[in-house]
Amino acid sequence: MKIGFDHNKYLEEQSKFILERVDNYDKLYLEFGGKLLYDLHAKRVLPGFDENAKIKLLQRLKEKVEVVICVYAGDIERNKIRGDFGITYDMDVLRLIDDLRERELEVNSVVITRYDDQPATTVFINKLERRGIKVYKHRATKGYPTDVDTIVSDEGYGKNPYIETSKPIVVVTAPGPGSGKLATCLSQLYHENKRGNVAGYSKFETFPVWNVPLKHPLNIAYEAATVDLKDVNMIDSFHLDYYGETAVNYNRDIEAFPVLKRIIEKITGKESVYKSPTDMGVNRVGFGIIDDEVVREASKQEIIRRYFKTGCEYKKGYVDKETYQRAKLIMEELNLKEEDRKVVTASREHLAKQKGSNDKKDICSSVAIELADGTILTGKKSPIMDATSAAIINSLKYIADINDGIHLISPSIIEPILHLKSKTLQSKSVGLTIEELLIALTISASANPLAQVAMDKLNMLKGAQMHSTSIISKGDEQTLRKLGIDVTCDPHFPTVNLYYNE
């Protein structure tokens, strides 16, 4: 993989910049935009970026840092799903707590925002508290967003309980956007100020990249990633007016800045040090770019991936038609086509050949995978395994230089699994999923040295690109993510069934 980003340089720049901010306050509330862990979008558009760069940066500062996690009660109530993990926001909070603790970062508490005694949220609060997690409940702020006098009063932020913290840097994070991170930070500023403490607010940003051109594919890829939020990159007019310097930000931050500035000034009783929304951000990611062409190409590929993802979400009913059309417009803006992703053409051509050589109606999907050396391999659905599993086993044979005609998994292992699925568990989809395939391959490895050789090559699939001509199962999608394979799908279900559609 060609590298376009210097991870170590970025860590140095970003940590230095944060510490400079902290020096101005007794306590800094640092809102984290984007993913705190497993930032796969950043990793894909900035080849060389560590998906856990943010958490590694915090580990450098761990003696000065504690973490507050926000989650919006409405997202818990409607079981909102975090797309990259396929889990609900409340479950993601639990996962995040475990991940932070594993990395020796202190989790202060969980804040339930806009709480209105929702039943499912109350159950979640009970679950947290009975496991020893401190929980704060913040209700909707009276007067928000325009009545600043009410917002900054005992009837506004004053109604929220004060979160007791002890470290100079309080990281405020969440499972996703709209979780109330900003409101939590401002509420804390209000309480800190009433207690006579000098506290500040800043935002840890990655995208859009303020010092990269507005129409750079890297920034357009951010629009593609947030197409459901209708985020639009804009020139920060406040920054341009005050500094005479062009900076890129996005519409929500620019629109909110005048009110946000007034709220901070009302809380502190003095003029804000921030003259623009860009000022508020701590974003040095642009300084880590070392090969612009590599980043441009990676960003274009991410835009195509996001387009396919939005198409599948539209087919499943998760997003509206306007969102899908917006994803198409972003593609057209950069003159991108579906076929600019190599595996798309390969998978479709493979499917066409299968249909042409067989009249059976059950041939409805084909998968192509591009390996690190540029080789493209394919897989098709069979009674033994689904198309994604076939592509994986074919790839492992290729990487391990094993003849395609050699069976790595004994029939004595496959047949009992298929029997269990079809007869005992009454599964409608009998073929081996990727996870089942890997388990079977692991069992075979104890008696078959070639199977062990194939298993040893699994890590070489990391970074591979895959496309399926039909929507793959959630289980296969999650397994592919764990293997480090980027997958896209045509927005077609593999069967006409409504429930048994995997």
**What confidence tens digit (pLDDT) does each residue in 99-147 have?**
999 999 999 999 999 999 999 999 999 999 999 999 999 999 999 888 9
**What confidence tens digit (pLDDT) does each residue in 200-255 have?**
999 998 999 999 999 999 999 999 999 988 889 999 999 999 999 999 999 999 99
Q: Name the least confident of 20-24, 102-106, 261-265, 373-377.
A: 20-24
**Predicted confidence band at 24 (pLDDT cuts at 50, 70, 90)?**
confident
pLDDT at 360 over 70: no
**Predicted confidence band at 363 (pLDDT cuts at 50, 70, 90)?**
low
Mean pLDDT to the nearest integer, 183-208:
95
Report the C-alpha gap between 233 and 261 in whole angstroms: 20
C-beta atoms surrounding 399 within 10 Å = 21
Domains assigned to the chain: 7-215+232-288 (3.10.630.10), 342-489 (3.40.140.40)
**What confidence tens digit (pLDDT) does each residue in 415-436 have?**
999 989 888 888 877 789 999 9
- Which has the higher per-residue pLDDT, 34 or 216? 216
Q: Provide the mean pLDDT of the chain.
A: 93
- What does the pLDDT read at residue 239? 97
Of 226-230, 381-385, 436-440, which has the strongest mean pLDDT? 436-440
SS3 of 25-67: CCEEEEEECCCCCCCHHHHHHCCCCCCCHHHHHHHHCHHHEEE
- What does the pLDDT read at residue 500? 65
Report the C-alpha gap between 52 and 44 in whole angstroms: 13
- What does the pLDDT read at residue 229? 86
Q: What is the DSSP string of 207-235?
A: SS-TTS-TT-HHHHHHHHHTGGGT--EEE
For 293, 376, 435, 497, 498, the CA distances from 332, given in Å and listed in that order, are 20, 26, 37, 33, 32
**What confidence tens digit (pLDDT) does each residue in 92-105 have?**
999 999 999 999 99
- What does the pLDDT read at residue 357? 59
Q: Which neighbouring-strand residues pair with 111?
A: 70, 136
- What does the pLDDT read at residue 205? 86
- What does the pLDDT read at residue 502? 57
Q: Which neighbouring-strand residues pair with 233?
A: 250
Residue (of 407, 400, 402, 386) closest to 475 by Cα position: 386
**What confidence tens digit (pLDDT) does each residue in 326-356 have?**
999 999 999 999 999 999 999 999 999 887 6
Do 247 and 278 meet the contact criterion of CB atoms below 8 Å apart?
yes
Q: Please name the residues in contact with 71: beta carbons below 8 A apart, sequence gap of 6 or more.
A: 89, 90, 93, 110, 111, 112, 113, 174, 175, 179, 180
Give the CA-trace dihedral at 49, 54, 57, 58, to 10 degrees: -170
**What confidence tens digit (pLDDT) does each residue in 478-489 have?**
999 999 999 999
Report the predicted TM-score, pTM, of the whole model to 2 decimal places. 0.91
**465-468 and 366-370 strand pairing:** antiparallel
- What does the pLDDT read at residue 356? 67
pLDDT at 499 over 80: no
Q: Name the least confident of 42-46, 351-355, 444-448.
A: 351-355
Q: What percent of the chain has a predicted confidence (pLDDT) above 70? A: 97
**What confidence tens digit (pLDDT) does each residue in 63-92 have?**
999 999 999 999 999 988 877 677 899 999
